[in-house]
Amino acid sequence: MPDLDRARSGEHQTAPRAVVVVGASHAAVQFAESLRSNGFGGTVQLIGEELHQPYNRPSLSKAYLKGEVTVESLALRGSNWYTDHSIDLTLGERVVRIEHGKNGSGRVHTSKVHSGENEVSSYVYDRLILATGASPRKLNIAGTDADGVVELRSVDDAHSLRDRVASGPVVVIGGGFIGLEAAATIRSLGGTVTVLEAGPRLMGRAVGEATAAFILAAHRTMGVDVRLSTAPEAILTDDHGAVRGVRVAGNDIAASTVLIGVGVEPNIALAESLGLSCAAGIVVDHRGVTSEGTVLAIGDCTVQPHPGADLDLERSVRLESVDNAVEQAASAARVVAGEPDSVRAVPWFWSDQGDWKLQIAGLTGTHDAVVVRSDPDRPRRLVVGYFTSGRLSAAECVNAPADFLALRGALNNGTLVTPEEFADTSAPLKQLLKPQASRASATA
C-alpha cells in the first residue's frame, strides 16, 4: 500500500491504518469507541490477558461481592458492540515482546495466558497504544502466599473473595478505597471485618483529614473494626498453610481470609522494554503521547501532567480512576485520528463504601485553606472545599452528589466560589453555577 509505505518512510506521516491496543480494560474500550467516533476507518485490535470480556472494575468491591450482579452484567459493552464497531477483541493472550520501528510501526507478539505456550500470535501495527493498567502492590511480610490471602483487582479475585466471606473473619490490610469498599460490603453481608491501616488516617493519599475522619466514623458505625497506625507484622498460618490470623504489635487477630489492599503498581515492563521514559508509571504528555512520540499510553499505567482547566506541566500525577481512563482515552484517540486537542475537565473520583458515597473533584496539594461545609440537620453529609489563593481548587463530598456536581462544574468553568459562600449552608451550592446576574437577582 503506497500510503503505508509513505508513513513508514517517516517523511510523510499519514493516518495510521492498523492500531493495536495492549490491554482490554476501561481505557482500552473507551479508546476504541472514541477512535471510531472520530471517524477512524482502520483496524482496531484490543489484546487482553483475562478471558472475561472487558468489564466494569469498580463494581467488583461492591455489587459483585454482594452477588447482586453477574459477570455478564459487569461487561462494559455487549458482545455485539465489538463486531458492530469492527473492533477486534483478543482475550486470554499476554504480550510478551514488541518489535517497534522508528516510524511508529511494528509487531506485537503474544502467548496464551492459560496454556503456557510460547509465542502464538503476532499483530502488526502502525500505531501502538499501551493500556497495561496496574497490579496490586505486594506486601513484604511473612505469610502472603498462604491459602486465604487474596487481592482485589480482577473479577476472578472478587469471585474468590466472595466465596470466602462466609467462612470466617476477614482482615483487610490497607485503609484505601479498595479495602474500605470491600470492608463495608463484607459488613453488609454480615461478616466480621478488621481494617489495618499503617498510616495515621484512612485514604491518606486520596483525601484530607476532615473527610478521612468522617469516613472513619462511618465505618465504625457500620461495625468495621478500623485500626489506624497499625502495620501487620506477619500473616499467621495453620499446619496446612491456610490463613489463621494476622499478627500486629503484641496481638494476634483471628482471620480466615486476608485481603491485601495496599495500592497498585503500574505495569510498565513492556514500556521499559521499548525504552519509553518511565517514572512510577509510563510518562506521557497531556494527550497520552509517550517519550517515543509514535507510541501512546493511557489509564492507570501512566504518569501525566496535572490535568484540568489549568494544565500544570510542572506537577505530574498518576490517576487511578474511571474518569481518567475515559479522558485519556478520548485524548489519545484524537491524536491517532489526527484531530486537534480538546479541553480536559478536572479529574474526579468516587468511592461507594456501604451507603456512604465519597466523591472528589480536582486535586489537592496546592491549597492554602480548607473550608468544611456541614449542616447539623444533615449529619450524614459533608462537603470540604480546598482553596488556593482564595479560589476553589478541589472539593470532597460525602453523600452530597448534587453539591459535588455543582462544585465540579464550578471547577471546570472557573466559576468564582468564595470560602464564605462555600461555608454558608443557607444557600444551595448549585446556585453558584448560575450566571452572576441571576445569582444577584436570586439573592435580592
Partner 1 sequence: MSKVFYLQPDGVEKVIEGTDGESVMTTAVKNGVRGIVGQCGGALSCATCHVFLAEDELDNFSAPSEDEDDMLDCAATDREPNSRLSCQLLLREGSDIHVTIPSSQL
Q: Which of 213, 345, 370, 372 binds partner 1 (CB under 8 A)?
A: 345
Asked if 189 is part of the footprint of partner 1 (rule: CB under 8 A), the reply reads no
Per CB under 8 A, contacts with partner 1 among 347-366 are 350, 352, 357, 359
Stretch touching partner 1 by CB under 8 A, among 52-60, 92-100, 237-245, 279-287: 52-60
Nearer to partner 1, 86 or 229 (CB): 86
Residue 443 to residues 249, 422, 434: CA-CA distances in angstroms?
57, 15, 12
Q: Which of 120, 217, 249, 402 binds partner 1 (CB under 8 A)?
A: 402
Asked if 185 is part of the footprint of partner 1 (rule: CB under 8 A), the reply reads no
Minimum Å gap between C-beta 430 and partner 1 is 5
Nearest to 258 by CA among 177, 202, 195, 204: 195
Site string for partner 1, 225-264 (x = CB under 8 A): ----------------------------------------
Report whether 160 contacts 256 (CB < 8 A): no
Cα(320)–Cα(120) distance, integer angstroms: 32
Nearer to partner 1, 147 or 339 (CB): 339
Stretch touching partner 1 by CB under 8 A, among 127-135, 183-191, 290-298, 398-406: 398-406
Minimum Å gap between C-beta 78 and partner 1 is 4
Nearer to partner 1, 82 or 123 (CB): 82
Nearer to partner 1, 222 or 326 (CB): 326
Minimum Å gap between C-beta 217 and partner 1 is 21
Q: Which of 10, 41, 379, 401 binds partner 1 (CB under 8 A)?
A: 401
Nearer to partner 1, 121 or 342 (CB): 342
Minimum Å gap between C-beta 43 and partner 1 is 18
The b-or-e profile of 226-255 (16+ CB within 10 A means b, else e) is: bbbebebbebbbeeeeebbbbbbeeeebeb
Minimum Å gap between C-beta 141 and partner 1 is 33
* Residue 63 CB neighbour total at 10 angstroms: 17
Size of interface with partner 1, in residues (CB under 8 A): 29
Residue 295 to residues 18, 233, 323: CA-CA distances in angstroms?
13, 42, 22
Nearest to 345 by CA among 358, 365, 331, 359: 331
Nearer to partner 1, 8 or 430 (CB): 430
Asked if 374 is part of the footprint of partner 1 (rule: CB under 8 A), the reply reads no
Nearer to partner 1, 84 or 163 (CB): 84
Nearer to partner 1, 321 or 393 (CB): 321
Asked if 370 is part of the footprint of partner 1 (rule: CB under 8 A), the reply reads no
Per CB under 8 A, contacts with partner 1 among 62-101 are 73, 75-78, 80-81, 84-85
Q: Which of 34, 45, 59, 105 binds partner 1 (CB under 8 A)?
A: 59
Per CB under 8 A, contacts with partner 1 among 406-435 are 406, 409, 430, 433
Minimum Å gap between C-beta 280 and partner 1 is 26
Q: Which of 46, 276, 326, 333 binds partner 1 (CB under 8 A)?
A: 326
Cα(165)–Cα(279) distance, integer angstroms: 37
Nearer to partner 1, 304 or 321 (CB): 321
Q: Which of 17, 20, 33, 303 binds partner 1 (CB under 8 A)?
A: 33
Per CB under 8 A, contacts with partner 1 among 265-324 are 322-323
Binding site for partner 1 (CB under 8 A): 33, 56, 58-59, 73, 75-78, 80-81, 84-85, 322-323, 326, 345, 350, 352, 357, 359, 401-402, 404-406, 409, 430, 433
